[in-house]
A and B are shown apart, each in its own frame.
Chain A
């Protein structure tokens, strides 16, 4: 049994070494400026807000994904949307305005 395990380990090690070489030559040279940093809107077909499970809107100006209903904005960093509610931003423009108005009165 141990011998067998040793054999497997040996085989694995050689395979491991083989795999360190790139598996596949790059078909298209990657364009870091475009494809890597920018958000791909096609991803929106998969994404929803993790809290309400409702679709999101991509806001290009702030580079965020917006849940209008709950007023939450999820940031996109390096083209990767961060969909963790604790890292998101609350949009409460109207509410804040109302509050400040109330305070003034």
Chain B
């Protein structure tokens, strides 16, 4: 069976399958490039498997207080950034969204709100244009609108951390988002989705936690339809020296303290701050997106570059 597996899916698969059984059928791949095995966890250098575990631990720890901490740390600005992302995305009824690392559902909820408002506007326009309707037509129009308020739109949320998703799901229930939403536990570096299935791929404050950003970008490219759009909201490099000084002070002196006081967890927030500093700056990340095959790649700085939205198309 092992030989068959090699033939079908290549060595990478065997390597990963070994993880399932806990047995190593084949010698582990020796990458000549040591960078591949070692990676960065904040300012610490760790092995890749360790990074996965450690990141998981961070998000297990912060899951419960994630939303309140986001509001406190960014003074609510993260909500404006996410709204900006939606204004750039401009989804229409029927758009299929994949939100990666979207555990607590923020982007997907905004997406559904946006689709709703688009759909309502559409219905309003239709209503205006229909001046003389028969009863039959009226009843038919009611049936149609009742059936599908989202116009076939669907948001799939994929996150590697089940705990974050459990909180997201609870939130969805509380806020009344029941239709057009699915939750899948999955790894952004090997997405469990069909090729060319989604119109939009979003990842909000998630990509810097991934061990192989390049692989995640390639997977994004794979699951997008031709014409589909990649959108990434992530912390970036501040371009104003004065703000940069204040931001550094705030990041390293205030955020871990907030983490300790609110969530009782200094280390996790220390990691979050460090990981932000290590993430590639705007131009470098743009080049990485282009390397994955995306076209018309550009970015928008938010709040002097504290965060940035990168966008690219699969053409």
Tell me the complex Cα distance, A16–B77, Å: 7
Q: Which residues from chain B contact A81 at a C-beta distance below 8 Å? A: 184-185, 192
Pairs A-B, 4 closest by C-beta atoms: A16-B76, A26-B176, A83-B192, A82-B185
Bitwise interface map of A from 62 to 105 toward B, beta carbon under 8 Å scored 1, else 0: 00000000101010011111111111111000010000000000
Asked if B195 CB lies within 8 Å of chain A CBs, one says yes
Residues of A within 8 A of B116 (CB): 24
A47 to B191, CA, bound (A): 9
A-B contact pairs, 13 of them (CB 8 A): A2-B243, A16-B76, A17-B76, A24-B176, A26-B175, A27-B149, A47-B193, A72-B20, A80-B162, A83-B184, A83-B185, A85-B16, A85-B17
Known: A5-B304, A15-B80. A50 touches B165 (CB 8 A): no
Q: How far is the CA of A88 from the CA of B5 in the complex (A)?
A: 17
B108 at the interface (CB under 8 A from A): no
Contact A46–B194 (Cβ < 8 Å): yes
Q: Given known contacts A46-B197, A85-B19, is B76 in contact with A2 (CB within 8 Å)?
A: no
1/0 contact string of B183-199 vs chain A (CB within 8 Å): 11111001111110100
Of listed A16, A32, A78, residue having the most chain B CB within 10 A: A16
Q: Across the interface, do B190 and A85 meet the contact criterion of CB distance under 8 Å?
A: yes
Q: Could you tell me which residues of chain A, from 10 to 49, have a CB within 8 Å of some CB in chain B?
A: 12-13, 15-17, 19, 22-28, 30, 32, 35-36, 40, 43, 45-49
B242 within 8 A of A: yes
Identify the closest chain B residue to A72 (Cβ).
B20
For the complex, give the distance between the alpha carbons of A28 and B192 in Å: 30
B106 → chain A closest CB, angstroms: 10
Which A residues are in CB contact (< 8 Å) with B240?
1
Q: Which residues from chain A sit less than 8 Å from chain B, CB to CB?
A: 1-2, 5, 8-9, 12-13, 15-17, 19, 22-28, 30, 32, 35-36, 40, 43, 45-53, 70, 72, 74, 77-90, 95
Tell me if A's interface is mostly helix, strand, loop or mixed: mixed
A2 to B177, CA, bound (A): 38
B176 contact set on A, CB distance < 8 A: 22, 24-27, 30
Task: Judge whether B136 is part of the interface by a CB distance below 8 angstroms.
Answer: no
Once bound together, how far apart are the Cα atoms of A86 and B169, in whole Å? 23
Judge whether B16 and A51 touch: CB under 8 Å: yes
Is A78 touching B169 in the complex (CB atoms < 8 A)?
Answer: yes
User: Complex Cα distance A32/B197, Å?
Assistant: 29
Q: Which partner residue on chain B sits nearest A88 by CB separation?
A: B20
Q: How far is the CB of B189 from chain A (nearest CB, A)?
A: 9
Contacts of A43 in B (CB 8 A): 156, 182, 184
Whether the pair A27, B178 counts as a contact (CB closer than 8 A) is yes
How far, in whole Å, are A89 and B21 apart by their CA atoms in the complex? Answer: 8
Q: In the complex, given contacts A23-B175, A83-B185, A87-B185, what are 11 additional A-B residue pairs having Cβ atoms less than 8 angstroms apart?
A: A5-B304, A27-B176, A30-B176, A43-B184, A46-B197, A48-B192, A49-B192, A80-B183, A81-B185, A85-B17, A90-B21
Expressed in whole angstroms, the Cα–Cα distance for A13 and B192 within the complex equals 38
